[in-house]
């Protein structure tokens, strides 16, 4: 089965990991800072804190934003559920606002309509790698007195009006799961513009521990002393995985170029075809594509999914609207809330896209798809 996404691991990646395994640190060591510094080269210099997953990154970012009971968070339903569920777990109320019908990112007008005096965070998702409209969303958060968060799990290396993703929102989260553009096996990161929020994120991923003498409530306890001033968790990304991350980030320009070439080939082969729409894009966006999301018209998405899978091509659907999950249904969220997101979901199909996909593999995907549609 050709997967819809997959990691690319080369000899440099393997060597980087093995070097750490033979060294003195397995978990927090020099590779953590090296990875965070390398990542900041992709966020326009905005500093980053590594964590154990994209989900942990969202949880940590929301804690750094001060999100809690009594607060509301506005976000898109067309995302992996963790964008919302991490906020729900913090006791905040998630308000789903609809997406732009063509690019499937959070619609600024819908987000604006969903804000209330209790809105603390608006989280955009750079669906498939295409950035949301951040300037328009910034107006929404400014008017609401809220923070702008970007779930950029799909979008490392993408640009919005020439600015790198990671530099446009107050807090940006990344995922380094194997299907994503860059992998550390499991892993994630938070980029934070405000140094106090960066510090809050760094503490939260390390149990909330404080060692800086100037910040201790009981500074004369002894040299061993450290304090928990606010509760945290252990979300530390190990040195072994950070070494893989450094090596992978060095390959990101090549990953991005190969993905762009595959996207151009898909566009050329599928553009203008009856029964299918290729991904839309905005003039403001320079996407580093993570997914290639087509829309299958005529109510045939399920049929095309089943037939592609039967032909050994691992197409995927990204995503069922988050509030369709039974856990949200049980909280009273009802279908029909975000009609654009639901209409997009009903037609969406992700075709295989990853750097190791050869032209011949892609030709096979296209041949199967065209045989079904024409």
Ligand X SMILES: *Cc1c(COP(=O)(O)O)cnc(C)c1O
Specify the residue, 154 or 203, whose C-beta has the smaller distance to ligand X: 154
Q: How far is the CB of 61 from ligand X (least distance, A)?
A: 11
Residue nearest to ligand X (CB): 54
Q: How far is the CB of 215 from ligand X (least distance, A)?
A: 30
Q: Is 124 exposed, middle or buried (0-12, 13-18, 19+ CB in 10 A)?
A: buried
Residues labelled as active-site residues? 180
Specify the residue, 67 or 369, whose C-beta has the smaller distance to ligand X: 67
Backbone angles phi, psi at 59, to 5 degrees: -60, -45
Cα distance between residue 17 and residue 242, in whole Å: 9
| 354 touches ligand X by CB under 6 A | no
Q: How far is the CB of 279 from ligand X (least distance, A)?
A: 16
Cα distance between residue 128 and residue 289, in whole Å: 6
Residue from 108, 164, 188, 232 that binds ligand X (CB under 6 A)?
A: 188
Cα distance between residue 67 and residue 74, in whole Å: 12
Q: How far is the CB of 310 from ligand X (least distance, A)?
A: 26
Q: How far is the CB of 55 from ligand X (least distance, A)?
A: 3
Restricted to residues 117-176, the positions that interact with ligand X (CB under 6 A) are 125, 151, 153-154, 175
Site string for ligand X, 275-314 (x = CB under 6 A): ----------------------------------------
Specify the residue, 75 or 270, whose C-beta has the smaller distance to ligand X: 75
Site string for ligand X, 45-84 (x = CB under 6 A): --------xxx-----------------------xx-xx-
- Judge contact between 106 and 127, C-beta under 8 A: no
Q: How far is the CB of 76 from ligand X (least distance, A)?
A: 9
Specify the residue, 78 or 270, whose C-beta has the smaller distance to ligand X: 78
Specify the residue, 8 or 60, whose C-beta has the smaller distance to ligand X: 60
Specify the residue, 49 or 276, whose C-beta has the smaller distance to ligand X: 49
Size, binding site for ligand X by CB under 6 A: 14
Q: How far is the CB of 186 from ligand X (least distance, A)?
A: 6
Residue from 62, 177, 235, 324 that binds ligand X (CB under 6 A)?
A: 177
Specify the residue, 155 or 193, whose C-beta has the smaller distance to ligand X: 155
Applying CB under 6 A, the residues found at the interface with ligand X are: 53-55, 79-80, 82-83, 125, 151, 153-154, 175, 177, 188
């Amino acid at each position: 089965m050709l997967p819809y996404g997959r990691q690319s691991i080369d000899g440099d990646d393997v060597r980087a990991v093995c070097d750490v395994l033979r060294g003195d640190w397995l978990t927090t060591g020099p590779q953590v800072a090296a990875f965070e510094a390398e990542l900041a080269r992709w966020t326009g210099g905005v500093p980053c804190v590594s964590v154990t997953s994209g989900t942990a990154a969202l949880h940590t970012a929301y804690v750094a934003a001060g999100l809690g009971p009594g607060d509301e968070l506005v976000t898109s339903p067309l995302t992996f559920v963790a964008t919302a569920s991490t906020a729900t777990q913090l006791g905040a109320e998630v308000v789903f606002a609809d997406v732009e019908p063509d690019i499937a990112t959070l619609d600024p007008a819908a987000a604006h309509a969903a804000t209330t005096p209790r809105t603390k965070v608006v989280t955009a998702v750079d669906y498939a790698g295409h950035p949301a409209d951040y300037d328009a969303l910034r107006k929404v958060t400014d008017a609401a007195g809220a923070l702008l968060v970007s779930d950029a799990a799909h979008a490392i290396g993408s640009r919005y009006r020439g600015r790198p993703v990671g530099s446009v929102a107050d807090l940006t989260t990344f995922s380094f799961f194997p299907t994503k553009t860059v992998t550390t096996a499991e892993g994630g990161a938070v980029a934070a513009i405000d140094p106090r929020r960066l510090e809050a994120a760094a503490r939260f991923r390390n149990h909330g521990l404080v060692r800086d003498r100037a910040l201790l409530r009981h500074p004369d306890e002894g040299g061993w002393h450290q304090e928990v001033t606010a509760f945290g968790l252990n979300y530390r990304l190990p040195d072994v995985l950070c070494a893989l991350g450094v090596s992978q980030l060095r390959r990101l320009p090549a990953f991005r170029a190969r993905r762009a070439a595959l996207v151009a080939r898909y566009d050329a082969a599928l553009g203008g075809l009856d029964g299918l729409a290729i991904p839309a894009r905005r003039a403001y966006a320079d996407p580093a594509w993570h997914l290639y999301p087509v829309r299958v018209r005529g109510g045939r998405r399920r049929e095309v999914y089943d037939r592609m899978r039967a032909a050994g091509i691992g197409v995927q659907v990204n995503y069922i609207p988050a509030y369709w999950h039974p856990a949200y249904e049980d909280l009273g969220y009802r279908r029909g809330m975000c009609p654009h997101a639901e209409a997009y979901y009903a037609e969406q199909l992700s075709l295989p896209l990853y750097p190791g996909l050869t032209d011949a593999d892609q030709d096979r995907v296209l041949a199967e798809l065209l045989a079904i549609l024409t």
